[in-house]
Amino acid sequence: MEKIDIRTLPRTELLDFLLSRGEKAFRAKQIEQWLWQKGVARFEEMGNLPRALRDLLGEHFETRPAAVSAARESRDGTAKLAVVFHDGQLAEMVVIPSRNKATACISTQVGCKLRCSFCATGAIGFARDLEAAEIFDQVIIARKYLEERGMSLANIVLMGMGEPLLNLDRVLDAARRVTDPEALAISPYRLTLSTAGIPEGIRRLADEGVRFHLAISLHSAVNATRDRLMPINKAYPLEALSDAIAYFVQKTGTRPTIEYLLLDGVNDTPRQAEALARFCRAFPVKVNIIEYHPVDGSPYRRSRPETRDRFVAFLESKNMVVNTRRSRGEDIDAACGQLANKSR
């Protein structure tokens, strides 16, 4: 009999299984606490379950926890972890410490279909979606990595490999487990989902009433430029994206973040700054200006500091909220857009 991963079972199916074998309903909750709250994957370690039940679970189910296959630490303390899944597929995640707290940047797919031209992940193509448990496991891995170093996990960003809104059911399931008071109980306000801009996905997030933060990788507010940087823009141009963001803001009452990777001579000109300011007039947003880290074979360069400062000053003159962010882990290829499974 082929065993299935118990963590793919909805609560109702786990309950049906237990009741059909004469077990009590409260065992479902106990099992879920082991799996999702304590991060314990082995049935024999589930100490408050009777031996017969642990054996029964072992006969029918298995768990396939993800594991770290390689880790590299940057000069600035940022760590890139290669995470291997049950079928040998690999995705990278990044842990970014700041004093005794840290942010974990986790992946939602192995590779990515969207092929943004500045991104190393896009260049390796797409292998598969990650299961909810595989996304969840990265949080467990980050927590353990940090605990061993005397730090705690403060924030989670779904900004590693992949486009979360193209794997939305599993992403929402993982987010529910991470934030559930009976699982990891991490506040949804400490979770950020970053998207290249899939309008129907953004609308669905709004309709689902999510309480986590939304970030949109914009990188240009000029369609022709964005088409070149992010081919997804040809399917969903800026007008459609703008409507979806407005819908999200109106439904959730939150202020999304616009991520903007500054590229020399491409999207850092006065015309591009004006277009960005116009785009952001439609809703309340924060803008994160991010430094570019070149990837192998990239045609792009980082903007000059004086160009960056002029760009930021222009936006601020329009009363926009702007942060300039240095992305971290450049020396280990862990900075924004650098995740390419080189650890393999």
Catalytic residue list contains 73? no
Count Cα atoms within 13 angstroms, Cβ side, for 223: 9
Q: Least distance in Å: CB of 222 to ligand SF4?
A: 18
In the bound state with ligand SF4, the residue whose beta carbon lies nearer, of 115 and 310, is 115
Q: Least distance in Å: CB of 70 to ligand SF4?
A: 20
Q: Least distance in Å: CB of 155 to ligand SF4?
A: 18
In the bound state with ligand SF4, the residue whose beta carbon lies nearer, of 217 and 220, is 217
Q: Least distance in Å: CB of 42 to ligand SF4?
A: 33
Question: Identity (one letter) of the amino acid at 72?
Answer: R
Is-contact 289 240, C-beta < 8 A? no
Place of tokens 């999200």: 248
Structure tokens that stand for 133 in this block: 């448990």
Considering the candidates 105, 116, 280, 336, report the single residue annotated as catalytic: 336
In the bound state with ligand SF4, the residue whose beta carbon lies nearer, of 43 and 236, is 236
Considering the candidates 92, 134, 163, 330, report the single residue annotated as catalytic: 92
In the bound state with ligand SF4, the residue whose beta carbon lies nearer, of 57 and 232, is 232
Angle at 169 between CA 12 and CA 87, to 5 degrees: 90
Distance of CA 282 to the CA centre of its chain: 26
Q: Least distance in Å: CB of 230 to ligand SF4?
A: 6
In the bound state with ligand SF4, the residue whose beta carbon lies nearer, of 322 and 339, is 339
Give the E-state strand segments of the chain in sequence order: 4-5, 61-62, 67-73, 79-84, 90-98, 101-106, 109-111, 126-129, 152-158, 191-195, 213-217, 257-262, 286-291, 321-325
Closest CA to 110 of 131, 80, 95, 94: 131
Q: Least distance in Å: CB of 43 to ligand SF4?
A: 35
Residue nearest to ligand SF4 (CB): 122
Greatest Cα pair distance, the chain, in angstroms, is: 71
In the bound state with ligand SF4, the residue whose beta carbon lies nearer, of 119 and 210, is 119
Q: Least distance in Å: CB of 74 to ligand SF4?
A: 20
Catalytic residue list contains 92? yes
Distance in angstroms (rounded) separating the CA atoms of residues 295 and 292: 9
Q: Collapse the DSSP code of 320 into the 3-class scheme (helix H, G, I; strand E, B; otherwise coil) and give the result.
A: coil
In the bound state with ligand SF4, the residue whose beta carbon lies nearer, of 162 and 256, is 162
How many other C-beta atoms lie within 10 A of the C-beta of residue 102?
23
Distance of CA 128 to the CA centre of its chain: 15
Q: Collapse the DSSP code of 193 into the 3-class scheme (helix H, G, I; strand E, B; otherwise coil) and give the result.
A: strand
Structure tokens that stand for 69 in this block: 């296959």
Is-contact 222 79, C-beta < 8 A? no
Question: Which residues contribute to the site for ligand SF4 (CB under 6 A)?
Answer: 112, 114-116, 119, 121-122, 161-163, 196, 217, 337
> Catalytic residue positions?
92, 336
